[in-house]
Structure 1
Amino acid sequence: MQASAHLTPRRVLTVLAALAGALACMLPLANGALAHGSIVDPATRNYGCYERWGDDHMNEAMAQEDPMCWQAWQDNPNAMWNWNGLYQNGVGGDHQGAVPSGTLCSGGNAEGGRYSSMDTPGAWKTTDIGDDFTLQFYDQASHGADYFRIYVSDDGFDPTSEQLGWDDLDLIKTTGSYEPAENIDIPVSTSGYSGRHVVFTVWKASHMDQNYYFCSDVNFS
């Protein structure tokens, strides 16, 4: 005698519970598939904070040792956990319209202001670079790029006391397109800079109108 193909209410609940468990197990994979990218060297403000303190972000010693990261972690830890998600969609090439002066390091208060602490002036940790340096870009999702635009703050700008504006920037390089890859190295040549500056990078991803904005604090030495 064949078993009935009909499911009892209890059996339906059991099947639904099993499906829910399977979906829950798949969530980490889904989140990984949605990962994006950032400049990792010279490190962006939020990536640097993640790299230095991600496994010890509750340590109150950070307040003295790395105060700009401390204020960022206190403001919104997700700005560091999501170091690869500082972007805006649908900009249509109008970066200055989408990202007003004073909000460049937060990508125009992207993601509902998640990254607003990145705009806070102060003594952010710097990376030592020379006139010729290489931007190391890490793209977890391998989106590729239509272009990168790379700027350096001018000599009159003081990142320890001012929020970065478009008028503070010198456009150093605009690249061509890049095929999808996890790691992209971008050589950059400058001259005449010394001391503390901000390298500001715009990444236009190639898979859609998705635009990323990165502030990296550097010391030309």
Structure 2
Amino acid sequence: MLCHDHAQNPRWIMRALVLLSAALLCLVPWAETATAHGSIVNPGARAYSCHERWGDDHMNPAMEQEDPMCWQAWQDNPNAMWNWNGLYRNGVGGNFQSAVPNGQLCSGGNAEGGRYRSMDAVGPWHMTNIGNNFRIELYDQASHGADFFQVYVTKQGFNPATQQLGWGNLDLVKTTGRYAPAQNISFDVSAPGRSGRHIVYTIWQASHMDQSYYLCSDVNFG
């Protein structure tokens, strides 16, 4: 009779459904997915490049030898790559050098609670071959637009494979104007007098709010 009485009680039925739903949710694996923001895709920023090359094969042990810097990043925090488009800070007010300390430029000053700290690792990151005149390409999933971009390039003689990146290692080579909201934004940059391994450091000031992105792209000036 107890089971029959419970079966006739709407409150008991509702409670059972809630408990069953909660139990089923516990069986579903949770994974952080990329939020709708953006990144420099050419020359690819570090998190984007690691995701592009290994996102479908990130458990492959060959990565350790073939792409050691991406391997250390995947080992440290895979969500940095799954969220390749979320390396930003809010409310900086244009005070980029105050907000982002030396040695933490590629993580945006350990943006998002340190999720991107592996982007600051010093070593032989995979490079994109470019010329002294090259094109920056942004993919902006949410079409935020831009108040401006600032593009820096490391000074000739700086070696990103052995030296930690600081503001004093960079030259500002381009500041753009505003861009209307769009998913794809691109512009030309000139960095004369460079050869070999360098970092192109792009700050994207989004226009929908005070949100700034900090993106290291590893390049080889040929």
Give the residue type in structure 1 aligned to 2:198. Answer: H
Residue by residue, what CA displacement relative to the aligned partner does 1:19-53 show, whole Å, maximum 9, x if unpaired? 99xxxxxxxxxx77x41000001011111110000
Equivalent runs, 1:111-130 vs 2, <5 Å: 111-130=112-131
Q: Report the secondary structure of 1:64's partner residue.
A: helix
Matches of 1:184 and 1:15, distance apart in 2: 49
Letter in 2 for 1:154: K
Query: 1:1-221, aligned counterparts within 5 Å?
Result: 8-10=10-12, 12-13=14-15, 34-221=35-222
Shift of 1:16: 6.3
Query: Normalization by structure 2: what TM-score?
Result: 0.87
Distance in 1 (CA, whole Å) between partners of 2:87 and 2:160 is 20
Per the alignment, in what secondary structure is the counterpart of residue 208 of structure 1? coil
**Counterpart of 1:199 in 2: which secondary structure?**
strand
Superposition deviation, residue 187 in structure 1 = 1.0
Q: Deviations over 1:79-132 (max 9, x none)?
A: 101000001111011000100111000000111111111111100000000111
Call closer, same or farther: CA 1:180–1:16 in 2, change over 3 Å: farther
* Distance in 2 between residues matched to 1:189 and 1:167, nearest whole Å: 19
Q: Aligned partner of 1:70: which letter?
A: W
Question: How large is the Cα RMSD of the aligned pairs?
Answer: 2.1
- Three-state SS of the structure 2 residue aligned to 1:58 is coil
Residue 140 (structure 1) shift = 0.4
SS of alignment partner, residue 157 of structure 1: coil
Equivalent-residue separation in structure 2 for 1:114 and 1:162 (angstroms):
22
Instruction: Output the CA distance in 2 between the equivalents of 1:138 and 1:14.
Output: 46
1:157 is displaced (CA, Å) by 1.2
Identity of aligned residues (%): 65
The residue type equivalent to 2:172 in the other structure is L
In the superposition, the TM-score normalised over structure 1's length comes to 0.87
TM superposition shift of 1:162? 1.1
In structure 1, the gaps of 5 or more residues are 1-6, 21-30
Shift of 1:11: 6.0
> Moved runs in structure 1, 4+ residues, more than 2 A?
10-17
Count of paired positions: 206
Looking at structure 2, the residues matched to 201 and 14 of structure 1 have their Cα atoms a distance apart, in angstroms, of: 53
The SS at the match of 1:69 is: helix
Moved more, 65-74 or 186-195: 186-195
Contact 2:200/2:216, CA 8 A, preserved across alignment: yes
Structure 2's unaligned 5+ residue stretches are: 1-8, 23-32
1:96 counterpart letter in structure 2: Q
